[in-house]
Structure 1
Amino acid sequence: MKRVLHLMRHFWLDAGDVERTLGAGTLDRIEARIHASERRHLGEICVCVEARLPTSYLWRHLRQHMPMEQVVHERALTLFGKLGVWDTELNNGVLIYLQLAEHRIEIVDDRGLARHVPDAEWEKTLAGMSARFREGRYEDGLTRAVDAVTAALERHFPADGNERPPRENQLPDRPVVH
């Protein structure tokens, strides 16, 4: 019964719940944080918040007995492609994906940054944020995720300050809501 109730959250939530849960102010502050971040490095950050998983992903969990962690990870990889995060000029785009119904976050980085930052480093970063999402402290968790990605991009793709003309923003700074 507990499992059924857990899965029902996916059918109850929709994109409107993202804005109600996070609040428009949170989305504005995350957007501003990304904008400020991208002035300090050559990377691109995209935040996507999804209220629920599509039914096809839930079926993988139910029919194929795929662990929910793996289902959420696969959804993040799919959105990484759909949102064009993989298609940045320097191959250093990063997707921060928040799955609201599951209270889970994923960080997916493109090959340019992945060469420098091992998955274990992202897993360690995410482990410290999981409790915040379970407690409903979404803004705090997202802020920490953006800051962690910013630190990695500053280390490996610092802005040289001499760009002429200024670099074009390749991904939206506003969090994408699904």
Structure 2
Amino acid sequence: MVAIKRWFLHTFTPPWRWRLAFPAAVLKDIEIAVKQSECQHRGELRFAIENTLAPTWVWRGLSARQRATEVFSTLRVWDTEENSGVLIYLLLADREVHIIADRGIARRVHQTEWDAVAHDMQEAFRDGDFRRGSLEGIERITRMLTTHFPAVADNLNELSNKPVIINS
């Protein structure tokens, strides 16, 4: 995307725009899906939605992927006992999804697998189906984590299951 066009998009997108894609019922469905997912494996999922980036960040060339990495750190997704956190990050203005996995999971699941899930989520979002895209993405991530990090008897919930809305 041309830098100036991207800057205008981030600067003039209304701050409430995310509510159209993710009304309260969809956010609740995501929270329930994350909770159910985490009962099946030892991974910890966080779902983060950011409407736009600060115009100065866009002007300086901050990519959605770079921002996802910052959010991974800010939300402390890395701070789990088994290094098994996974962030699903959506930047609405850029229509991009990025999945960042902590080092414990990254050793077992290659980034190309996460990118395939993110791509399919983006396709559903382009069709305007944010609920389906989110829930199917969580379902696919659940299957990967169940394979590599199956649940144990004392499966702790280390991170909040509630989606986070980031206001830049």
CA distance, structure 1, for counterparts of residue 47 and residue 16 of structure 2: 17
Offset at residue 60 of structure 1 (A): 2.5
Name the structure 1 match of 2:12.
Answer: 12
SS in 2 for 1:41: coil
Offset at residue 20 of structure 1 (A): 3.1
Larger helix proportion of the pair? 1
Gaps of 5+ in 1: none
CA offsets 1:18-55 (integer angstroms, 9 cap, x no match): 22331111000000000111111111000000000123
Name the structure 2 match of 1:175.
Answer: 163
> Which protein shows a greater Rg?
1
Offset at residue 171 of structure 1 (A): 1.2
Larger mean CA deviation between 104-113 and 18-27 belongs to 18-27
CA distance, structure 2, for counterparts of residue 26 and residue 107 of structure 1: 19
Gaps of 5+ in 2: none
Q: What is the total number of aligned residue pairs between the two structures? A: 165
TM-score of the pair, normalised by structure 1: 0.84
Name the structure 2 match of 1:60.
Answer: 60
- Structure 1's 15 and 48: CA in aligned 2 closer, same or farther, altered over 3 A? farther
Name the structure 1 match of 2:70.
Answer: 78
- Structure 1's 134 and 92: CA in aligned 2 closer, same or farther, altered over 3 A? same
TM-score of the pair, normalised by structure 2: 0.89
Question: For 1:146, which of 138, 144, 148 is the aligned residue?
Answer: 138
Q: Cα RMSD over matched residues?
A: 1.9
Question: For 1:96, which of 71, 81, 88 is the aligned residue?
Answer: 88
Larger mean CA deviation between 82-91 and 132-141 belongs to 132-141
Offset at residue 102 of structure 1 (A): 0.9
CA distance, structure 1, for counterparts of residue 144 and residue 57 of structure 2: 30
